[in-house]
Amino acid sequence: MNNAFWQGKRVLLTGHTGFKGSWLSLWLQQLGAEVHGYALPPPTQPSLYELAKVAGDVHHHGGDLRDLPRLQAVFAEVQPQLVLHLAAQPLVRDSYRDPIGTYTSNLNGTLHVLEAVRQQGGVRSLVLVTTDKVYANREWLWPYREDEPLGGHDPYSSSKACCELLAQSYAASFFNPARYGEHGLALATARAGNVLGGGDFARDRLIPDCLAAWQAGQPVVLRHPQAVRPWQHVLEPLAGYLLLAERLYNEGPALAGAWNFGPAEQDMRPVGEVVSQLAQAWPACPGVQQQPSDLHEAGLLRLDSTRAHRLLGWQPRWSLSQCLQATMAWHQAWQGGEDVRAVCLTQLAAYREAACPN
């Protein structure tokens, strides 16, 4: 990543009040970008956005992605050069509770971002963040590559697969490489693994559920301890998004399309093993209980990130063990009343200085 590239760049970031969006806002500010955020209020209480005082780094534009006129007005005001679309309803179990809200937020929201970009013009680089769950999961041992069939059993996964199809349609219909000189946009989608890190307070996510239960002196309840997921620290895919956005800006549609940003092979581990590692760092851990769920969740999911390794030079920097250590350190610092913003910036600096493993 070329840090100088981001100096003064006008960036519109959707979902900046969320977990990943807050970390990315802090990073963009450190890079010297002019960051404009479009989002609803923070989705949790407490929230990383408020604890880390992210609002001081971002020109905040409150709004719902389903409100196209509002979004278009923000695009006209900001005149962004790069757009990073992270805003979404991101939880599988919430998608079962509210499928209509999930589809309208994720599908219509992405459609409105694409349409605002198309009508406004001037955007050189657009990264749409989806998920590792967009693949038609066959529960096989092999990691999924970007050209595997799309699918999605639950409403969340399905809605994100639909977003991928939307992106493909707009790229072919309005941002075709043959017309690159006319519109000037390069579009890509980014599919990350299961992210961990300090400041995630969402329910029905593994690490927040563990820490909340143990903090209350109760055992954590696991639904699928044998399920295998591609675990990674939140800073890993964010580094991929930034690198991809920069390269799209500089090199155009040659790097368009879908990109996986997943962990190293050895860090795609079962849920129960991840919890065991985390429990070792918790004094007098209250333990773990198992309670199977009747809602479908994938049992085996792995990503192949070869394309990002070879064409972008992106590599994961932190192992699963380092990821869990950083997450626990953040949580303990927050519980101890430390300056959360300072903790975030310290961890961000440590990540940026870490060498990629050979």
Query: Rounded distance, CA 181 to CA 178, Å?
Result: 8
Residue 248 CA to residue 188 CA, distance in Å, equals 8
Query: Is it the case that residue 179 has pLDDT exceeding 60?
Result: no
Record the tokens describing residue 319, joined without a space: 């192992």
Please give the residue that has the higher pLDDT: either 234 or 178. Answer: 234
**Mean pLDDT score, 29-36:** 97
pTM assigned to the model: 0.94
Over 90: is that where the pLDDT of 71 sits?
yes
Task: Choose from 27-31, 271-275, 351-355 the range with maximum mean pLDDT.
Answer: 27-31
Does residue 188 contact residue 171 with C-beta atoms inside 8 Å?
no
Residue showing tokens 């407490």: 46
CA-based nearest residue to 124, from 190, 36, 186: 186
Lowest-confidence segment of 132-146, 284-298, 305-319 by average pLDDT: 284-298
Question: 354 and 318 in contact (C-beta within 8 Å)?
Answer: yes
Full set of structural domains in the chain with CATH: 3-193+232-267+296-320+340-353 (3.40.50.720)
**What gap in Å lies between CA 279 and CA 288, rounded to an integer?**
9
Q: What is the pLDDT of residues 328-347, one digit of tens each?
A: 999 999 999 999 999 999 99
pLDDT for residue 207 = 86
pLDDT at residue 180, rounded to an integer? 45
Averaged over 102-128, what is the pLDDT? 96
Residue 8 tokens, joined:
């003064």
